[in-house]
Amino acid sequence: MNQNTGKMIQSFLNPKGIKKLIALTLIFGLLMGSNLLVYTMGGTKLAYVHGFYIPIIISGIIFSVPGGLITAFFASLLSGPIMPFDVALEIAQPSQSWMLRSLFFFLVGGLSGIGAKIVKAYLQDLENRLITDSVTQLLNSRGLIEEWHHNFIPKQGINPSLVILRIHELSSIEAILNPDEMDQLFNDVARVLKNVAKDLGVIATLEAGTFALLLHESKKVKEIIAKCRHELGNVFTINDIPVFVNIFYGIAKIHNMKESIIAFLHRGRIAADKAIRNNFEIASFEVEDETQLLRNAKIIHDLSTAISSTELELFYQPQIKLETGRVEKLEALVRWQHPELGMISPSEFIPLAEGTLLINPFTKWLLEQTLCQLAFWLEKGLDLRLSINFSMKNFHDSTIFDLIHKTLQKYKIPAQKLEIEVTETAFSANLQQVADVLHTVREMGVLVAIDDFGTGQASLHYLLKLPIDVIKIDQVFTRNMLKNSGAEAIVRSAILLGHELNLEVVAEGVQSEVELRKLKDLKCDYGQGFYLAEPMSANLVSPWLLKRE
Q: Would you say 225 or 491 has its CB closer to Mg ion? A: 491
Q: Site map for ligand C2E, 286-325, x if CB under 6 A? A: -------------------------------x--------
Q: Which stretch binds Mg ion (CB under 5 A): 18-26, 240-248, 305-313, 447-455?
A: 447-455
Q: Considering only residues 289, 419, 451, 504, which one is a binding residue for Mg ion as defined by CB under 5 A? A: 451
Span 443-472, contacts to ligand C2E by CB under 6 A: 451-452
Contact flag: residue 530 with ligand C2E (CB under 6 A): yes
Within its chain, how far is the Cα of 385 from the centroid? 42
**Residue facing ligand C2E at closest CB distance:** 529
Q: How far is the CB of 471 from ligand C2E (least distance, A)?
A: 12
Q: How many residues does the chain have?
A: 549
**419 binds Mg ion, rule: CB under 5 A:** no
Residue 171 or 347 with smaller CB distance to Mg ion = 347
Least spacing, CB of residue 173 vs ligand C2E, in Å: 31
Q: Strand, helix or coil at 284?
A: strand
Closest listed residue to residue 506, CA positions, set 467, 449, 464, 549: 449
* Neighbouring C-alpha atoms within 13 Å toward the C-beta of 252: 28
Closest CB to ligand C2E among 282 and 533?
533
346 binds, among ligand C2E, Mg ion, none (CB under 5 to 8 A by kind): ligand C2E
Q: Is the dihedral of CA 449, 454, 457, 462 positive or negative?
A: positive
**Residue 105 neighbours by CB distance under 10 Å:** 25
Q: Are 507 and 341 within 8 A, CB to CB?
A: no
Q: Which amino acid, one-letter code, is at 203?
A: I
469, 439 in Cβ contact below 8 A? no
Choice between 27 and 386, CB closer to Mg ion: 386
CB of 43 or CB of 535, closer to ligand C2E: 535
Contact call for residues 325 and 380 (beta carbons, < 8 A): no
Please select the residue that binds ligand C2E; options are 304, 425, 440, 511, rule is CB under 6 A. Answer: 511
71 binds ligand C2E (CB under 6 A): no
Say how many C-beta atoms besides its own lie within 10 A of residue 183's C-beta: 16
Q: Which stretch binds Mg ion (CB under 5 A): 180-188, 196-204, 248-256, 420-428?
A: 420-428
Q: How many residues bind ligand C2E (CB under 6 A)?
A: 24
Interatomic CA distance for residues 253 and 217, integer angstroms: 10
From candidates 67, 109, 456, 509, binder to ligand C2E by CB under 6 A: 509
Q: Any contact of residue 424 with Mg ion (CB under 5 A)?
A: no
- Strand 470-473, strand 447-453: pairing: parallel
Burial 328-363 (b: 16+ CB within 10 A, else e): bbbbbbbebebeeeeebeeeebbebbbeeebbbebb
Nearest one of 336, 329, 410, 420 to 377, comparing CA atoms: 329
Measured CA to CA, the distance from residue 36 to residue 30 in angstroms comes to 10
Cα dihedral 54→58→63→69 (10° resolution)? 20
**Which of 78-86, 208-216, 217-225, 386-394 is the region at the interface with ligand C2E (rule: CB under 6 A)?**
386-394
Of 421, 424, 504, 515, the one binding Mg ion by CB under 5 A: 421
List the interface residues with Mg ion, window 382-411 (CB under 5 A): 389
Q: How far is CA 534 from CA 342, 369, 450, 498, 514, in A?
A: 20, 20, 21, 25, 17
Q: Which stretch binds ligand C2E (CB under 6 A): 89-97, 201-209, 241-249, 388-396?
A: 388-396
Beta carbon nearer to ligand C2E, 138 or 532 = 532
Q: Where are the beta strands (DSSP E) in 8-95?
A: none
In the complex, least distance from residue 361 CB atom to ligand C2E, rounded to whole angstroms = 13
Q: Which is nearer to Mg ion, 281 or 328 (CB)?
A: 328
Interface with ligand C2E includes 387 (CB under 6 A)?
A: no
Q: Assess 211 for contact with ligand C2E (CB under 6 A).
A: no
Q: Is residue 528 a contact point for Mg ion (CB under 5 A)?
A: no
Residue 544 has a CB neighbour count (10 Å cut-off) of 15
Q: Does 147 bind Mg ion (CB under 5 A)?
A: no
Which one of the spans 7-15, 54-62, 185-193, 525-533 is the region binding ligand C2E (CB under 6 A)? 525-533
Residue 378 CB, shortest distance to ligand C2E, in Å, is 20
| 8 Å CB contact between 272 and 284 | no
Of the candidates 167, 215, 366, 524, which one interacts with ligand C2E according to CB under 6 A? 366
452 binds Mg ion (CB under 5 A): yes
Residue list 413-442, contact with ligand C2E (CB under 6 A): 421, 423
Judged by CB under 6 A, the residue of 333, 431, 444, 497 near ligand C2E is: 333
Question: Is the CB of residue 214 less than 8 Å from the CB of residue 143?
Answer: no
Integer Cα distance of 431 and 515 in angstroms: 34
In this structure, are residues 370 and 314 in contact, taking their beta carbons and an 8 Å threshold? yes
Residues forming the site for Mg ion (CB under 5 A): 389, 421, 451-452, 508
Residues binding ligand C2E (CB under 6 A): 317, 333-334, 345-347, 350, 366, 389-391, 421, 423, 451-452, 475, 508-511, 528-530, 535
